[in-house]
Structure 1
Amino acid sequence: MKIKKQHRKKKYLHKLNRKRMHNKQRSTGDVPCKTIKEAWDHKKSALRNLKEMGLANDPNTVIKIPSFKKEQLKKAKQMVNQDDSESEEEVVPRKPPKMEVVEKLEKEAKAPKERRFMLPKGQVEFITYLLDKYGNDYKAMARDKKNYYQETWKQLRAKVKTFMGIPKQYGEYLTARGLLDKELDEEEIKKAAKALVDDD
C-alpha cells in the first residue's frame, strides 16, 4: 500500500500546472484591508511587517493568560526582596515605526457604520398595506386575509417596528403618504416612528 502511494505521487499529470500550484501554496493570500495593504512591504516577512505596524501575529504571545503559579512566585519574590532597594526595571516597549497604521485601524473601527439592512420589496408592500388599512391595530392585522402565514399580532408588530427602524424605507413611506414634507435625517425619522408606534 505504501509503495503504491509513493508511486502515485511521482506520476506526472499533464493537466496540472506545477509552477502555478507551487506559487499558490507559497502565497499567504491577499490582504483585504486597504490600510495594511498600503503599508505592507513585500520584501519583508509577514511577521516583521505586522511587528513594524504595531500589530500582533499571534494574540497569545501579546495577551498572555495569567499563570497562577507564576503570579504566586512573583508575590513570593516581592516578599523576600522587600528589604532590597533593587527593584525590577520595567521594560518600556519600543514604539513601532508604522504606528499610524494602528491609529487608522482604530479610527475605522470606532467610526459609525452605515446600516445596510433593508427589508425585501414584498415584505415592505405587505407592511405598508397593513399600516394603511389598520394603522396601529395589530390584532386586526393578524385577522387580515392577506396574512397568509398566519402571523400573530406580536409578530406583525415586531415586523412593523423593524420597518420603522430603517430610516430610508420608512422615510420613503412617510413622504409618499404626505406625512413628511421634506427629507429628514435618521434621528428625526426615528422620532416620527416613536410617535406613531404604541409601546405596548
Structure 2
Amino acid sequence: MPKAKQKQRRRKYNYNINRKKLNKAARKRAAPRIKCPQIRHAWDRSKTVSQNLAEMGLAVDPNKAVPIPKVMRMEVDGQDTKTKIVRKPYVINELEYEASLPEKKSETLSRDLIDYIQHMIWNHGENYKAMARDEKNYYQDTPKQIKRKINVYKRFYPEEYKAFIDSLQQETMDQQ
C-alpha cells in the first residue's frame, strides 16, 4: 500500500522557532495552575506534592490525616508517634484568616430590571394585575411573577426601595 507523500518528505529544522521558549511554555502549560494565592507563593517546584503540603501543614489525603479509629488502641507512654514539622505555618494562618472573613454580597439585579420594577410601582402602585397588563411588560410576566421580582428588589436594595417609595409619597403630597 502506498504511503502518503507528506510522510516520505524529510523534516527540515525550523530556525525561526526559539526552542528554549517553546519548552518553557510547554512546561508551564503541563504544570497545573494553583488558584489559591497563599499555596502558590509557598509552593516549591523542586519538591513533591506531599512534601509541599506537609511543609504547609496541609493534608494530601484527608482520610489519612484524620483517620476513623476502628479499634481503640492503648498508647504506650515511652513511645512517641511521628510528629510532622510545619515549616510554613503562615500558609495555614492566611487560609484561616481568609475563611473567617464575611462573605461578600454578590446579589445584584440588572439596571433594566430595576428600571422596569420602578416603572411598574410608579404607574400602578400595588396593583399587580394592572402591572401584568402594562405595555412595558414585554416578557408577559404574570402578576405573581411581577410581585416576586418586586420582593427581590426590596430584599436586595432596601435603602433604594425606601427612598423610591418616599419620593413617590412626596410627589403625591405635592399634587394634592
Alignment partner, residue 21 of structure 1 = 22
Q: Distance in 2 between matches of 1:158 and 1:133?
A: 18
Q: Kindly provide the CA deviation profile for residues 59-88 of structure 1, in whole angstroms up to 9, marking residues without a partner as x.
A: xx3326xxxxxx9xx66xx8xxxxxxx846
Contact 2:43–2:52 (CA under 8 A) maintained in structure 1: yes
Residue pair 2:54, 2:84 contacting (<8 A) in 1 also: no
Counterparts of 2:82 and 2:166, CA distance in 1: 64
TM-score by length of 2: 0.65
Secondary structure at 2:22 match in 1: helix
Distance in 1, Cα, partners of 2:146 & 2:118: 12
Give the % identical residues. Answer: 31
Q: 2:52 aligns with which of 49, 53, 78?
A: 49
| Letter aligned with residue 155 of structure 2 | G
Cα 1:17–1:6, aligned 2, differ >3 Å: closer, same or farther? farther
Q: What is the CA distance between 1:26 and its match in structure 2?
A: 1.9
1:188 counterpart residue number? none
User: After alignment, is 88-97 or 98-107 more displaced?
Assistant: 88-97
Q: What's the TM-score, normalizing by structure 1?
A: 0.58
The answer to whether the aligner puts 1:116 opposite 2:118 as a matched pair is no
Q: Which runs of 5+ in 1 are unaligned?
A: 65-70, 79-85, 180-200
Shift of the alpha carbon at 1:37? 3.9
CA distance in 2, matches of 1:173, 1:97: 53
Q: Does the aligned pair in 1 maintain the 2:56–2:92 contact within 8 Å?
A: yes
CA change 1:22–1:143 in 2 (3 A) is: same
Shift in Å, 1:132: 2.0
Q: Distance in 2 between matches of 1:19 and 1:172?
A: 58
1:94-173 map, 5 Å: 94-167=84-157, 170-173=158-161
Q: Deviations over 1:81-130 (max 9, x none)?
A: xxxxx846684652522233123213312321221332221111101111
Cα distance between partner residues in 2 of 1:161 and 1:14 = 66
Q: Which runs of 5+ in 2 are unaligned?
A: 168-176
Q: Which has more radius of gyration?
A: 2
| Paired residue secondary structure (2:135) | coil
Amino acid at match of 2:62: V
Aligned residue type for 1:147: N
Q: Displacement, 1:53?
A: 0.9
Name the amino acid aligned to 1:45: K
The separation in 2 between residues aligned to 1:178 and 1:46, in whole angstroms, is 63
Mapped to 1, the partners of 2:96 and 2:129 lie a distance apart of: 47
CA distance in 1, matches of 2:8, 2:162: 73
